[in-house]
Structures are given as structure tokens and as C-alpha cells.
Structure 1
Amino acid sequence: METSRRELAAMIALGSAGIALSSTPSPADAGTSPAAPALVHHVFFWLKRPGSQADSEQLIAGLRTLRDIPVIRRLEIGVPASTENRDVVDASYDVSELMFFDSVKDQKTYQDHPIHQEFVKSCEHLWAKVVVYDMATV
């Protein structure tokens, strides 16, 4: 029985390694794959009236208008999830948006775009605090 366990463990390890290697992009493909955006832009909003459903809905509606900006590859909008309460989880924000861009230049184009400028003008009265995390993918 011990031999078959070892053989099974070896087969699992080899199969896992094969899967990992086959799904790893080659250095030549790095940064060119459409599945790998170059920049991730994550914004967290704290409302002036925390917990206000009306303010949250208005902010979410404003964020949805940003989908019309062509350089945004993907946009996700959300609220804190009802996950396990742990010391490392900060669920104090009210609304968050997560965007993916092909380049830093595209993110700058988004910042300057009239739709984004209008969003800020029409919704900034709703938030008390905004925190942005921009990440370059590696």
C-alpha cells in the first residue's frame, strides 16, 4: 500500500507541475496578454452619511457612467462583502470601484476624460473620504 501512495503522490505532483507550467505565460508573452492588464486602479469611498442607501445608490449610479470611457478595460463596482470578521479585513468603506487599464497612459486618459470629470463634479458631495490604490501588475 505504501508504494501505491507514493506513486499516487508522485502522479499528483507531476500533474500539478504540468498544469502550472502550461498555464504560465512565456517571457515573450509577458505584458502582452489581453488577460493581464498593466494597471489596476482600486478606489474606496466613505460616504458623508455612512450607511445611507440613497447616497450609496447615487454614487453607484455615478460610477456606472464611467463604463462609457473607452480606455477602461473592465470596471467592477461593489460594497463590503459579508465575509468573516478578521483583523486584516477593512470593511469600513461604503462603496468601491475596481478598474483595469492597459497602461498608465490609459489611466491618465481616464482621469482627464470629461465623463470622469462630470462624475467627480456630480458625486463628490456624497463622500467624506476617498482612498486610491494603483497597482502595476508584474
Structure 2
Amino acid sequence: MFVHHVFFWLKSDNTPDEIKKFEASVSSLKSIKSVHMADVGKPASTDRPVIDTTYSYSLLLVFNSLADHDAYQVDPVHLQFVADCSNLWERVLIYDSESL
């Protein structure tokens, strides 16, 4: 399995409509055929020193292979998401991992 975990820090001056646009667009990534499993979330209400809750949204995608991940990267739905929403975030941090 290949896991692609993306953390977004949205700009503080985004309007409610822009936030709705982001939520709809990031959720559309779940429809990409090469995605095996997907989840979009916000920081949980856990409170421990080792937990970073400073991000706005999390996108967790699981692929069956690196090839499926690579197909996702060039999928028109993903490219449209980046084109439509990259102006809404100030920071993105990605962690990719492969199963042992």
C-alpha cells in the first residue's frame, strides 16, 4: 500500500464560500479511480503535547501501489483541484509512506 497524507493550512481571510469551495473540491478527489481509500477531515479534539492541530484540513489517500499514486497526481480531477484551490491555502505539508 502507498499512503499519501496531505495537510492544508488555509488562509485566515478565506470567506465562508471559499471554504465551502475548498471542502467540495478536496472531497472530489475521492472519486479518482486510482484511489483505494480516502478521507477528508479536520483536526480532532485530542489534546496531547505530541499532537499538531495547527492545520485546517487533512486529506488521507491510500493507493494499492506507487503507480496508482502516480496516476492520481496527473488525474484531471486532481489537477483541477490544485488549479481551483491553491490560492486558498498558505501551506501544504505532505507525508508519503509505503507499507513494510
TM-score between both structures, scaled by the size of structure 2 = 0.91
Shift of 1:55: 3.8
Shift of 1:92: 0.2
Give the one of 35, 39, 52 matched to 1:76: 39
Quote the Cα distance in structure 1 between the aligned partners of 2:50 and 2:16.
Answer: 26
Given that 1:43 and 1:130 are in contact with CA atoms closer than 8 Å, whether structure 2 keeps it comes out as yes
Unaligned 5+ runs, structure 1: 1-37
Using CA pairs under 8 Å that are at least 6 residues apart, name the structure with larger relative contact order, 1 or 2. Answer: 2
Count the aligned residue pairs. 100
Quote the Cα distance in structure 1 between the aligned partners of 2:49 and 2:33.
Answer: 38
Quote the Cα distance in structure 2 between the aligned partners of 1:135 and 1:40.
Answer: 5
Identity %: 38
Unaligned 5+ runs, structure 2: none
Name which one, 1 or 2, has greater alpha-carbon Rg: 1
Q: CA RMSD in A?
A: 1.6
Q: Which runs of 4+ in 1 moved over 6 A?
A: none
Change over 3 Å in CA distance of 1:135–1:75 after alignment to 2: same
Bigger proportion of residues as helix:
1
Change over 3 Å in CA distance of 1:80–1:54 after alignment to 2: farther
Instruction: State yes or no: 1:40 paired with 2:3.
Output: yes
Tell me the alpha carbon deviations over residues 68-96 of structure 1, each in whole angstroms, 9 at most, x when there is no partner: 21000011000001112x22100000001
Shift of 1:60: 1.5
